[in-house]
Amino acid sequence: MNQTSNHPLTLEQISNCFHECFFNKYQVVLKGGFDEPFYKTHQIVNGKHQAAEIQFREDFIRSALHEISHWCVAGLERRSIDDYGYWYEPDGRNFDQQIEFFNVEVTPQAYESILCDAAQIEFQVSVDNLDVDISDLEVHIENFKKCVFEKKEQILNTNGHKRVLLLANRLQLETQIR
């Protein structure tokens, strides 16, 4: 993906691009302002169908892109379950839990990196654990970074996952028309 300007997209632009790409087909919306990210599947409220919601932290662009990435990873069955039916261990994970986190986060963070590039937002892998002693995990963190960037290249070189590439192309187009 070519970067064409030095101005990152805004959260509003990213939200609009996401809506254009996915609302009609998937009935899903992107919503910020939450204390914790969460995916809320389609609901029926008072007999009316409610769209699924990808909820992200506060107004953080990187949180929005990361949660979009998880949605892109999830298949049809997982998207029919709140929070995709995945476990989440918050800050304070022990060493073994952190290694498991690295294992399951490679693809979502590779997708996030692709979306960040397209939106011209700096990407750095996240260990998502403020309580971890980084010195105990340095080798694992470096391996995690390597795996994320290898997965990203694999996706880009093979025209991998269609939803993430569709959104990335739309984001990149948005950077060109501003």
- 18, with CB counted inside 10 A (0-12, 13-18, 19+), is buried
Predicted model pTM: 0.91
173 within some domain: yes
What's the domain range around 98? 11-177
121 within some domain: yes
The upper half-sphere exposure of residue 161, i.e. CA atoms within 13 Å in the direction of its Cβ, equals 22
4 within some domain: no
The letter for the amino acid at 4 is T
127 within some domain: yes
| Token pair for 22 | 């996915």
5 within some domain: no
- 16, with CB counted inside 10 A (0-12, 13-18, 19+), is middle
Q: Alpha helix locations (H) across 4-133?
A: 11-26, 61-73, 95-119
123 within some domain: yes
170 within some domain: yes
1 within some domain: no
Percent of the chain with pLDDT over 70: 89
| Token pair for 124 | 């750095």
Domains in the chain, number? 1
Question: Reduced to 3 states, what is the DSSP secondary structure of residue 60?
Answer: coil
Q: What tens digit of pLDDT does each residue of 160-176 get? A: 789 999 999 999 999 99
The letter for the amino acid at 95 is F
Mean pLDDT of 75-85: 94
Mean pLDDT of 122-131: 81
